[in-house]
C-alpha cells in the first residue's frame, strides 16, 4: 500500500504534481467540497456550471472532485479520448439512490401504458442509468439553478411531467410557477410501483417521485423562527431542496450559485443565515469575514462529499502521472439516451448570445 503524507505535506505534493502534469490535467470541484480540495481546483461551481464547463476542457485528464453521479455526467460530456477521474468512487448521493433505474422504468411503463405522454424530468442527482431511462422517454435533466426553466420546457413537451427524485425541489418550483396543489400528485412507489394510483396520476399535471436530500432535510422552519427571534434583522436564505415550509419561511431560496451571489451583493454589515451544506457556508463565512456576518442555519454536512480528501486527490494525480489511474466508465447501453437527456437541458438553458 502506498503511504501518502499528512495533510499539509500532502497539499504541497498535490501542487507539485499539478505543476508537473501541467495542461494534461484539469481539476474541477463542486461547491460542497472541503476547502482543502477546492483550493486546488481550476474551476468550481454547482452542477449546472460544471456541466457547461466539461465540454470545453481540452486536457486529456479531468479530475472531478465531487460525488459519483457528477463524475458519470462529466464522463458522458467529455470529448473522445478524454478520461474523467474521481478521487473516491464510493462518494455517492443518498437522494440518487432513492430512484433506481429499473423501478423508474417500471413506473414510467405503467404511467404511460394508456398512451399518455408523461415527460420525465430528472434532477441531476441521479445515476447515469436513470438519465438513460429519462432520455428514452423523451425527458431531460435539470439542476436546482434551472429547475423552473426545465419544468416549463417539460410541460411543453407532453401532457404532464414526472419530476424525480426530489419532491421538495419539485414542490418549491411548482409554487414559484403557480401550479396548484390539486394538479400535483406524489407517487407511492412501494411494492415495486404496484401501490401507484394510476388514475390519480393521470389527473395530475405534475407527478412527483418521493425522494429528498438528507442534508437539506435537516433544516426546519423552527430554526428560522429561532434565528429571527435572536436577531430580527437577520436574512435567511436556503437551498430549494429544503422542505416547502422552510423555503416559505426564508427570505430567499436558490441554488448554490444563487446563494453565493446573494451573499456577494448583501449590504455591508448584513447578518445572513444560510441553510445548505456546511462547506459552502464556511467558505462564504471566511470570504466575507469583517464585512458580513455569515452563519449556518445549522451545521449540515454531506458525508459522501467529505469522502474526497487531499490524500485521495493526491493518489489520483499520482495514478495519472504513472498511468495507473482508472477513469470513470460509461455503460454503452445508456450512453446515447443519457447524453441526450443532458444535452436537452444544456440546449434549453444555453445562455443567450
Residues 177 and 269 in one domain: no
Residues 137 and 29 in one domain: no
Residues 162 and 181 in one domain: yes
Does 257 reside within a domain?
A: yes
Does 330 reside within a domain?
A: no
1 pLDDT higher than 50 = no
* C-alpha to C-alpha distance for 33 and 265, rounded to whole angstroms: 23
Residues 198 and 179 in one domain: yes
Which range of residues forms the domain containing residue 79? 7-91+305-322
The two beta strands, 206-208 and 184-186, are: parallel
Does 329 reside within a domain?
A: no
Does 159 reside within a domain?
A: yes
Show the cell assigned to 176.
414559484
At residue 91's C-alpha, the angle toward residues 88 and 92, to 5°, is 150
* C-alpha to C-alpha distance for 50 and 42, rounded to whole angstroms: 11
**Calculated CA dihedral for residues 49, 54, 55, 60, nearest 10 degrees:** 160
Residues 224 and 166 in one domain: no
* C-alpha to C-alpha distance for 140 and 125, rounded to whole angstroms: 13
| Sequence-distant (≥ 6) Cβ neighbours of residue 175 within 8 angstroms | 244, 247, 248
pLDDT tens, residue by residue, 158-174: 999 999 999 999 999 99
The model's confidence at residue 5, banded by pLDDT at 50, 70 and 90, is very low
Contact 204, 160 (CB under 8 A): yes
Which CATH number characterizes residue 261's domain?
Answer: 3.40.50.10800
* C-alpha to C-alpha distance for 58 and 345, rounded to whole angstroms: 22
Residues 255 and 235 in one domain: yes
Q: 52 in helix, strand or coil?
A: helix
Residues 66 and 138 in one domain: no
Residues 145 and 188 in one domain: yes
Residues 207 and 256 in one domain: no
Does 22 reside within a domain?
A: yes
* C-alpha to C-alpha distance for 329 and 206, rounded to whole angstroms: 34
* C-alpha to C-alpha distance for 235 and 253, rounded to whole angstroms: 11
4 pLDDT higher than 60 = no
Helix residue ranges per DSSP H, 141-277: 147-157, 167-177, 198-202, 221-230, 244-249, 256-264
Residues 187 and 116 in one domain: yes
For the chain, the domain total comes to 3
The model's confidence at residue 353, banded by pLDDT at 50, 70 and 90, is low
* Mean pLDDT rounded to a whole number for the chain: 95
Does 207 reside within a domain?
A: yes
* C-alpha to C-alpha distance for 83 and 273, rounded to whole angstroms: 39
| pLDDT given at position 7 | 54
pLDDT tens, residue by residue, 181-211: 999 999 999 999 999 999 999 999 999 999 9
* C-alpha to C-alpha distance for 210 and 288, rounded to whole angstroms: 37
Does 279 reside within a domain?
A: yes
Residues 204 and 233 in one domain: no
Q: Exposed e or buried b for every residue in 127-162, given b needs 16+ CB within 10 A?
A: bbbbbbbbbbbbbbbbbbbbbbebbebbbebbebbb
Cell 495542461 sits on residue: 23
pLDDT tens, residue by residue, 263-282: 999 999 999 999 999 999 99
Does 2 reside within a domain?
A: no
pTM: predicted TM-score of the whole model, two decimal places:
0.93
Nearest to 96 by CA among 135, 74, 71, 69: 69
* C-alpha to C-alpha distance for 207 and 170, rounded to whole angstroms: 9
Show the cell assigned to 33.
467540497
Contact 207, 154 (CB under 8 A): no
Residues 256 and 180 in one domain: no
What's the average model confidence in pLDDT over 30-53? 92
Amino acid at each position: 500500500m502506498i503511504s501518502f503524507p499528512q495533510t499539509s505535506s500532502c497539499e504541497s505534493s498535490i501542487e507539485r504534481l499539478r505543476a508537473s502534469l501541467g495542461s494534461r490535467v484539469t481539476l474541477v470541484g463542486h461547491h460542497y467540497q472541503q476547502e482543502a480540495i477546492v483550493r486546488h481546483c481550476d474551476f468550481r461551481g454547482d452542477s449546472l456550471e460544471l456541466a457547461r464547463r466539461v465540454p470545453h476542457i481540452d486536457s486529456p485528464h479531468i479530475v472531478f472532485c465531487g460525488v459519483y453521479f457528477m463524475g458519470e455526467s462529466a464522463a458522458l460530456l467529455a470529448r473522445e479520448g478524454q478520461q474523467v477521474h474521481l478521487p473516491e468512487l464510493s462518494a455517492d448521493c443518498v437522494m440518487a439512490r432513492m430512484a433506481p433505474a429499473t423501478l423508474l422504468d417500471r413506473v414510467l411503463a405503467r404511467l404511460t401504458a394508456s398512451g399518455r405522454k408523461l415527460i420525465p424530468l430528472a434532477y441531476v442527482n441521479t445515476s447515469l442509468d436513470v438519465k438513460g431511462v429519462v432520455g428514452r422517454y423523451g425527458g431531460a435533466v435539470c439542476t436546482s439553478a434551472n429547475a423552473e426553466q426545465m419544468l416549463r420546457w417539460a410541460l411543453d413537451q407532453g401532457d404532464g411531467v414526472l419530476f424525480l427524485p426530489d419532491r421538495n425541489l419539485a414542490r418549491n418550483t411548482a409554487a414559484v410557477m403557480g401550479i396548484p396543489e390539486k394538479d400535483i400528485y406524489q407517487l407511492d412507489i412501494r411494492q415495486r410501483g404496484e401501490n401507484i394510483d394510476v388514475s390519480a396520476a393521470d389527473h395530475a399535471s405534475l407527478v412527483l417521485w418521493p425522494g429528498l436530500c438528507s442534508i437539506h432535510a435537516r433544516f426546519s422552519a423552527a430554526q428560522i423562527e429561532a434565528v429571527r427571534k435572536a436577531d430580527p434583522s437577520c436574512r435567511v436564505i436556503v437551498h430549494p431542496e429544503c422542505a416547502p415550509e422552510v423555503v416559505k419561511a426564508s427570505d430567499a431560496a436558490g441554488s448554490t450559485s444563487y446563494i453565493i451571489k446573494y451573499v456577494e451583493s448583501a449590504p455591508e454589515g448584513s447578518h445572513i443565515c444560510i441553510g445548505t451544506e456546511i462547506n459552502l457556508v464556511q467558505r462564504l463565512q471566511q470570504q466575507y469575514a469583517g464585512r458580513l456576518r455569515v452563519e449556518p442555519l445549522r451545521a449540515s454536512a454531506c458525508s459522501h462529499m467529505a469522502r474526497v480528501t487531499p490524500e485521495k486527490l493526491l493518489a489520483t494525480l499520482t495514478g495519472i502521472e504513472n498511468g495507473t489511474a482508472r477513469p470513470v466508465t460509461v455503460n454503452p447501453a445508456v450512453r446515447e439516451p443519457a447524453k441526450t437527456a443532458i444535452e436537452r437541458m444544456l440546449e434549453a438553458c444555453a445562455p443567450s448570445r
